[in-house]
Structure 1
Amino acid sequence: MLFLTTITIPMAGATSLGQISTDVYTILPKSIDRTWEDVDLIYNGVFHDPDMVDEEIELFENAVPELVDIEILGESYQGRNITCIRVTNEEITTAKAKTLIVAHHHGREQVTVETALRFVQRLLNQYGVDATITDYVDTEEIFVIPTLNPDALERVINERDYWLRKNLRPFDNDGDGLYDEDPLDDVDGDGEISRYLEYRRSGPGSNWILQDYWYERIDNDGDGEFNEDEVGLVDLNRNYATYFGQGSSSSDPTAQTYHGTSAFSEPETQAFRDFALQHRFAASYSLHTGINATYMPTDEYDRLTELAQLGVIHDLNEILPSSFNNAVGYAAAESLDETELATFLGGGWDDWMYANRNCIVPMTFEIYHNASADNYDTLEVIFENDTYRLEDWTGIYEYFTPDKEYIDDLWEGLIPSFDYLLDLTPRLQVSPSLTGSTVSLSITLQSTRLGSIDGIEILDEQDQSLTSTSPLGYDDVGTATFTLPEEANLEEGYSVFVGNEYTGFLEVVVTSETPLDPMVFVVIGGIAIVAVVLAVFYRRKQ
């Protein structure tokens, strides 16, 4: 075997600065080589209870550890984990843009858990297959909380309490020293709890007026009252600090929108608050059901707070079909409508995310409504005369959540809106150039609607600011320049980091190489010629 060694022979005179080759470039994300098979849900075609959710989360982490990281945010009132899944390219350690989906504030909206799990599954299965999804995972940290209310999920799934909205902190509604001892009852054992509606009118031809309603009931505690101490206390989506106790929230513990004793009184909202305080999200979804609409944060006059929010709604109107639950076999419901954009909840998640975390587009995304449950044929007339009418409404089961056979169809119709959130999340593109010792940066954003929110910082490796820009709009081109410090070691590479907490950061590197002295090439060439001559001579001797 022949070894060649490069020998440098010093020449008279030092290499001048003009001979140094200097380069500047942005380090772009490098995708992971995919080594995993597609991930299938363990429990497909059914609604997950909390234990099943935990098993799916463990499956995701074990199947694709290169992309999945798990964090326990806290525990529910009954001690169940509230878990967050983070999906990102783990090999890229530079801070990235962040986006968030939180599902299942309300117990009976369990299909939101299913969409959250399928969203994670889609990211893992499309990575390395779909270039766009791969880029999102490489350039973003995607956080998904499948259920914020696991206690209620357990009861809805395993005890079929399809009316349950609130968390499971116990409360003695009737003051008898017992807790939750007289809940709603499935008296006839048909798997549904009916709601009875009582109407009265003055006589034939006049309009029926709703007087009262109640549910299937048994006097469980023998006190002569029915359903007076039901399970569930706090509406988690009225327990946030912004506008707490105002709007549509209630101070009545028996009300469906009871806000709790104080803001963040519940362990579930505390867990989310503590998590959110560690991150900056330009856009996020909170998944709900009951209607097809998107609610946005409002000011004190119930007006939209950002022009970008209206643009997002217009985009969604184009992305989603006008009746996007038609695909699951139910009657059409209204499309997203601008009249539904603003609502004043009081203590709602979206207002807190906007006011306290400066999330520009925190969307309360109502992903499902079964309009057929509103139809008259879901009402059975139990009794009627000229002045009195009693009806049984049986539409609750599929009102907030479709039957399990339609879960995947619903998800397929929603995929474009979830991809849209990833595209909405602002990420940077940086084109650097170098003139002498001055570095110039041209900065643009990748986002459908959102700018950088804060100014763009240019930081050195010690996180010291070299310069910054003003906040950039999503279609702006920003520029920044800085002078290389005298102590910059270009031979080892001098790095700066461009971005902010919302956009993440890109690394820009300035390097230099001193070209070999011409005499080096003369020596190398001479050695090579000698080697060839020796080789020929050796062969001839053979």
Structure 2
Amino acid sequence: MSAGPPGEPAAAAAARPELPHQYAVSGPATPAERTALTTTGATIDEVHARAVVVTADRAQAAAVRHLGYRLRRLPDPPATRPVSPGTRVGDFPAGYTKYHTYDEATKEIDALVARYPALVSKKVIGTSQEGRDILALKVSRNVTEDEAEPEVLFTAHQHAREHLTVEMALYLLGEFTSKYGSDPRITKMLDSREIWIIPDLNPDGGAYDIAAGSFRSWRKNRQPTPGSRSVGTDLNRNWDFKWGCCGGSSSSPSSEIYRGPSAASAPEVQVVANFVRSRIVGGTQQIKAAIDFHTYSELVLWPFGFTDDDTGPGMTRDDHDAFATIGKSMAASNGYTPEQSSELYITDGAIDDWLWGDQKVFAYTFEMYPSSAGAGGFYPKDTVIPRETTRNREAVLRLLEVADCPYRAIGKEAQYCKAG
């Protein structure tokens, strides 16, 4: 246990929960070696040619060392240190106050709905473990009508400490509404698409991460685990497709990548999965494409994560080629690195694998700014918000524009999208 701040009673320091830390790990050079690291319960945050950065608690760090690797602890973000007396709790620390709390985000959303009632509508699609509303915002011309238009889904904040993703969702809401009628591309998309934005999949975890007035580096939701003192399921290992299949998640409740006791056991996953299924109309899934926003590492990822096969069961060569072509196009616009998810390491129970494997949605994961822990890691200062959300504008528009027929990206529109 690290020492407390000057003047803090020893008992208070001892009572504070242990915070995980980031470590540079030299040596792992292949997806298999990186996947083996995750068996310790640590999460991999960055991947380099022959090294990774992990987040781990003391036991997990010891387990990584037991595998034969040397660890170098990285500096903690200043805002994860214990706060001084009088600090506002339940809010972002100094230097981060332009990030939105759950309540602040909800107020901003309500203001947009009131200002643009013909373009955006709000729907409560369910509640989190602790009873917070999970919202889905629909953006489209004639927003109150369910038209026969391709639908595109944007989701954010599965992982609690990834607060920049909520800002990304709010940016898209503001951009789509305020630029309709003046920006030709946005106007065309709202005239011909139905856009869904779920800005906060993990409101409980996000609130917990800032509840003390400093960051806790919390990742999971806040669901108690029966028979364990550990709290939380990793939402992005809990989806009901290849759940727990392939060494890409953990059965240990103390793990950062704990997959939960059963597939879709997390209430937040159930809510969003049920919403996606509700978009099946006449036997056809109306959602054609999706992006799930995360931080960090500046990556555009596509399925599958559960296998290192570049097609895998349920994905044809044409499917793969369309995924890769669109992914590379989006990455060319934002400067991210495009790759199949499993090129990093194996994951199972992830949302983009479920969206494609179960629903045949062309689903991507964006790992946003920064590229490294040294540039802010999970906690970049709020001054980057305008630049790093705007950075993805073109990529989002490119996905929207191809969503009616993703196979057009590989020149096979006639084969796949003109039937009947």
Q: TM-score range by the shorter chain?
A: 0.5 to 0.7
Pairing 1:312–2:312 present: no
Q: CA deviation at 1:302?
A: 1.8
What per-residue deviation string (whole Å, max 9, x for no partner) do you get for residues 63-96 of structure 1?
1010111111110000000000000111765321
- Residues 75-128 of structure 1, C-alpha deviations (whole Å, 9 max, x = no match): 000000000000011176532110000001000001000010011100011100
| Structure 2 counterpart of 1:367 | 368
Tell me which protein shows more helix as a share of its residues.
2
Q: For residues 131 and 163 of structure 1, do their structure 2 counterparts lie closer, same or farther at Cα, with a shift above 3 Å needed?
A: same
Aligned pairs for 1:256-335 within 5 A: 256-279=256-279, 280=285, 281-298=287-304, 301-305=307-311, 306-321=320-335, 335=336
- Structure 2 Cα separation of the partners of residues 340 and 259 of structure 1: 18
Tell me the secondary structure at the aligned position of residue 287 of structure 1. strand
Distance 1:275 1:161, change over 3 A: same
Identity of aligned residues (%): 28
Q: Which runs of 5+ in 2 are unaligned?
A: 1-95, 280-284, 312-319
**Is the 1:424–1:449 Cα contact (8 Å) retained in structure 2?**
no
Once the two structures are superposed, what CA deviation does each residue of 1:320-367 show, in whole Å capped at 9, x if it has no partner?
A: 23xxxxxxxxxxxxx4044756453111111111111011x2101111
Change in Cα spacing, 1:314 to 1:108, as seen in structure 2 (3 Å) is same
What do the CA deviations read for 1:132-165 (whole angstroms, capped 9, x no partner)?
Answer: 1101001100000000000011122343334100
Superposition map of 1:472-487 within 5 A: 472=416, 478=418
Correspondences of 1:3-22 after superposition (within 5 Å) = none
Give the alignment's TM-score, normalised by structure 2: 0.68
Q: How far apart in 2 are the matches of 1:82 and 1:59? A: 17
Alpha carbons of structure 1 residues 340 and 349: separation in structure 2 relative to 1, 3 Å: closer
1:369 aligned partner, one-letter code: P
Contact 2:243/2:349 (<8 A) preserved? yes
CA deviation vs aligned residue, 1:174-213 (integer Å, no higher than 9, x gap): x6xxx5xxxxxxxxxxxxxxxxxxxxxxxxxxxxxxxxxx
Q: Which of 271-280 and 99-108 deviates more?
A: 271-280
Task: Give the direction of change, closer, same or farther, for the CA distance of 1:86–1:258 in structure 2 (3 Å limit).
Answer: same
Q: Is the 8 A contact 1:105 1:288 kept in 2?
A: yes
**SS of alignment partner, residue 308 of structure 1:** helix
CA contact (8 A) 1:313 1:336 kept: no
Amino acid at match of 1:48: H
Aligned to 1:399: 377
Residue 401 of structure 1 deviates from its aligned partner by 3.3
Asked if 1 retains the 8 angstrom alpha-carbon contact of 2:305 and 2:350, the reply is no
Which position in structure 2 is the counterpart of 1:134? 187
Cα deviation for residue 415 of structure 1 reads 1.4
* Equivalent residue number for residue 421 of structure 1: 399
Return closer, same or farther for 1:448/1:65 CA change in 2, 3 Å cut-off. Answer: farther
Distance 1:244 1:294, change over 3 A: same
Structure with the largest fraction of strand: 1
Q: Is the CA contact (8 Å cut-off) linking 1:239 and 1:266 kept in structure 2?
A: yes
Cα distance in 1 for partners of 2:411, 2:236 equals 26
1:57 to 109, 125, 130: 109
Query: What does residue 353 of structure 2 align with?
Result: 351
SS at match of 2:255: coil
Aligned to 2:367, the other structure's residue is in SS state strand
Q: Taking structure 1 as reference, are residues 65 and 310 closer, same or farther at Cα in structure 2, changes over 3 Å only?
A: same
Over residues 442-497 of structure 1, what are the superposed CA-to-partner deviations in whole Å (9 max), with x where a residue is unaligned? xxx99545967xxxxxxxxxxxxxxxxx8535xxxx486xxxxxxxxxxxxxxxxx
Question: Aligned pair count?
Answer: 307
Matched, 1:71 2:123: yes
Contact 1:239 1:259 in 2 (8 A): yes
Q: CA deviation at 1:426?
A: 0.9
Amino acid at match of 2:353: D
Is the partner of 2:151 in helix, strand or coil?
A: strand
AA in 2 matched with 1:135: K
Which residue is equivalent to 2:244? 245
What residue identity is the alignment partner of 2:139?
Answer: V
Query: How high is the TM-score relative to the length of structure 1?
Result: 0.53
Q: Is the 8 A contact 2:298 2:371 kept in 1?
A: no
Task: Give the drift of 1:171.
Answer: 4.2
For the aligned residues, what is the CA RMSD?
A: 2.6
Provide the C-alpha distance between the structure 1 equivalents of 2:169 and 2:408, rounded to a whole number of angstroms.
Answer: 22
**Pair 1:163 & 2:244 matched:** no
Pairing 1:229-244 to 2, within 5 Å after superposition: 232-244=231-243
- Whether contact under 8 Å (1:47, 1:157) holds in the other structure is no
1:316 and 1:81 map into 2 onto residues whose CA distance is: 31
CA contact (8 A) 1:103 1:112 kept: yes
Offset at residue 287 of structure 1 (A): 0.5
**How far apart, in 2, do the equivalents of 1:451 and 1:284 lie?**
20
Secondary structure of 2:392 counterpart: helix
Aligned with 2:290: secondary structure? strand
Q: What is the alpha-carbon distance in structure 2 between the residues aligned to residue 411 and residue 347 of structure 1?
A: 27
Q: How far apart, in 1, do the equivalents of 2:367 and 2:290 lie?
A: 13
